[in-house]
Amino acid sequence: MISPALPISAAERLDAALLARGVCRALDQLGYATLLEFPLANGCRTDVLALGKRGDLIVVEIKTSLANFRADRKWPFYREFADRLYFAVASGFPVALIPEECGVMVADAFGAAVLREGPADPVPAGRRRTLTLRFARVAAARLRRALDPETTRFDSM
């Protein structure tokens, strides 16, 4: 069983939202569609799941502080759902602590820069298909809820 995430403060939630905005802007410029808080089949939620034009999948885990990074024990479970896994951190974060099997992005509210590419580890075809379909359904459900907030939620599919 995966241990639950530690609660974070309102300030950390705001910092995470600003970093997510910058990450999504940068991924958009690279041709990716992004979803925040994407639910995975193993019970975890990725901070950002990005889907590329060729079907490639990137997971980005956002860390707002060193304490937040050290407390996280879930990130290895994201690996099986991504071709590449990244940590996104703010400027000044000690990036040398981020494991070599993960990429590194430095982000702010306006964008992000890739400091280190995440090593490629292709998702198996069946899982890729399942994730791509879930990505589309979750995105459609969220768009629909923006129009009709009483719509049934599909995020937990």
DSSP 87-147: EEE-TTS-GGGS-TTSEEEEEETTEEEEEEPPPP-PPPHHHHHHHHHHHHHHHHHHHHHHH
Does the residue 107 lie in any domain?
Answer: yes
Does the residue 21 lie in any domain?
Answer: yes
Q: Where residue 3 falls among pLDDT bands split at 50, 70, 90? A: very low
Does the residue 1 lie in any domain?
Answer: no
| Residue 48 structural domain | 10-123
Do the beta carbons of residue 11 and residue 19 sit within 8 Å?
A: no
Percent of the chain scored above 70 by pLDDT?
Answer: 91
Does the residue 135 lie in any domain?
Answer: no
Does the residue 73 lie in any domain?
Answer: yes
What is the average per-residue pLDDT within 128-135? 97
Q: How far apart are CA 141 and CA 109, in angstroms?
A: 26
What is the structure's pLDDT at 78? 96
Does the residue 128 lie in any domain?
Answer: no
- Which uninterrupted H or E stretch holds 46? strand 45-51
Percent of the chain scored above 90 by pLDDT?
Answer: 82
CATH number, domain at 41?
A: 3.40.1350
Q: How far apart are CA 66 and CA 43, in angstroms?
A: 24
Does the residue 27 lie in any domain?
Answer: yes
Does the residue 142 lie in any domain?
Answer: no
For the chain, the average pLDDT equals 91
How many domains is the chain partitioned into structurally?
Answer: 1
Residue 125, pLDDT > 90, answer: yes
